């Protein structure tokens, strides 16, 4: 990296860090940021990797890991404006592709799922924010302007302009095109578990009310059936009073009937 390229890189990094990290108070602080140090090493290592100097490229990247706690494989393709806040534990795999203006937080993994060959790491499009501890595993695309919630494990494609949370990650919100890096909001995420529980509570309440209504109807039917049975019994009892011969003495009528 020549002098002019280095100066341009420093200016870009200063602008990025000032835009996304309220903790910086002076331009010189940018030289202390792990994100700045690791990206400087990555740019050098990536050029060597593209020229086939794999050992030297890995040597530079591994030195950067020891200094910053951030591991970026020199084969990864990274666009402009990547900001890694804090950075400890961030891992970016060999075939990862990262677009412009992406923000990663500590503990993020952009990894593969096994020993497959070829493209095995995710593609992160422009303006994506991946929050603390999130894992994106596999060869698929995270669409532009998307947000991945803290601690999420993303295993499948994410459409553009989406919010993903959970283990495994699920799309819980789609919104109009906007850049999540403008707000840097890691808290205001939908809670799909709370929503599901609320739906279950409503369904349980409706089912309970239906059961209570059915019980009341059964009680009413039992009362009506008992009344109807008693009336039928009286009618049947009366109909079975049969005379067994001519009645000469009305006072002795009961002697001539079978009840």
Token pair in block for residue 53: 């100097």
The per-residue pLDDT for 225 is: 85
In this structure, the dihedral spanned by the alpha carbons of residues 166, 172, 176 and 178, taken in order and rounded to 10 degrees, is -10
- With 70 as the cut, is the pLDDT of residue 244 above it? no
Confidence of residue 135 (pLDDT cuts 50, 70, 90): very high
- Rounded CA separation 49/230 (Å): 97
Confidence of residue 256 (pLDDT cuts 50, 70, 90): very low
pLDDT digits (tens, 9 = 90+) for 140-174: 999 999 999 999 999 999 999 999 998 888 888 77
The CATH number given to 3-190 is 2.160.10.10
68-77, 81-90, 141-150, 238-247: segment of lowest average pLDDT: 238-247
- With 50 as the cut, is the pLDDT of residue 34 above it? yes
The per-residue pLDDT for 25 is: 84
2-11, 22-31, 212-221: segment of lowest average pLDDT: 2-11
- With 50 as the cut, is the pLDDT of residue 259 above it? no
Query: Do 69 and 34 touch, CB atoms closer than 8 A?
Result: yes
Task: Name which of 86, 73, 91, 83 is nearest 13 in CA terms.
Answer: 83
Domain boundaries, the chain: 3-190, 196-258
Mean pLDDT of 23-39: 87
* Mean pLDDT score across all residues of the chain: 84
26-30, 121-125, 133-137, 179-183: segment of lowest average pLDDT: 179-183
- Rounded CA separation 202/139 (Å): 39
The per-residue pLDDT for 68 is: 92
Query: Do 163 and 180 touch, CB atoms closer than 8 A?
Result: no
- With 90 as the cut, is the pLDDT of residue 5 above it? no
Three-state SS sequence of the chain: CCHHHHHHHHHHHHHHHHHHCCCCCCHHHHHHCHHHHHHHHHHHHHHHHHCCCHHHHHHHHHHHHHHHCCEECCCCEECCCCEEECCCCCEECCCCEECCCCEEECCCEEECCCCCCCCCCCEECCCCEECCCCEEECCCEECCCCEECCCCEECCCECCCEEEECCCCEEEEECCCCCHHHCCCCCCCCCHHHHHHHHHHHHHHHHHHHHHHHHHHHHHHHHHHHHHHHHHHHHHHHHCCEECCCCCCHHHHHHHEEC
Confidence of residue 17 (pLDDT cuts 50, 70, 90): confident
Strand partners, 109: 91, 135
The per-residue pLDDT for 257 is: 46
Share of the chain above pLDDT 70, in %: 82
The per-residue pLDDT for 258 is: 45
Confidence of residue 89 (pLDDT cuts 50, 70, 90): very high
Mean pLDDT of 81-88: 89
């Amino acid at each position: 990296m020549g002098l002019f390229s280095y100066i341009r890189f420093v200016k870009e990094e200063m602008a990025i860090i000032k835009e996304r990290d309220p903790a910086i108070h002076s331009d010189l602080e940018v030289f202390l940021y792990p994100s700045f140090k690791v990206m400087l090493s990555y740019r050098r290592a990536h050029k060597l990797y593209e020229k086939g100097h794999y050992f030297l490229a890995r040597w530079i990247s591994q030195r950067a890991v020891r200094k910053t706690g951030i591991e970026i494989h020199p084969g990864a393709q990274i666009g402009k404006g990547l900001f890694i806040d804090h950075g400890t534990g961030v891992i970016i795999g060999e075939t990862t592709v990262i677009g412009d203006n992406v923000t990663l937080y500590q503990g993020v993994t952009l990894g593969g799922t096994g020993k497959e060959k070829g493209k095995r790491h995710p593609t992160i499009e422009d303006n994506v924010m991946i929050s603390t501890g999130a894992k994106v595993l596999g060869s698929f695309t995270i669409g532009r302007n998307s947000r991945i919630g803290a601690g999420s494990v993303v295993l499948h494609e994410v459409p553009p302009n989406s919010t993903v949370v959970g283990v495994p990650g699920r799309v819980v919100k789609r919104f109009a095109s906007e850049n999540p890096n403008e707000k840097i909001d890691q808290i205001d995420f939908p809670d799909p578990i709370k929503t599901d529980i609320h739906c279950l509570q409503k369904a349980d309440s409706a089912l309970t009310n239906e059961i209570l209504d059915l019980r009341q109807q059964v009680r009413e039917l039992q009362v009506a059936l008992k009344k109807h049975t008693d009336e039928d019994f009286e009618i049947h009892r009366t109909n079975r009073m049969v005379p067994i011969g001519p009645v000469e003495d009305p006072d002795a009528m009961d002697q001539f009937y079978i009840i």
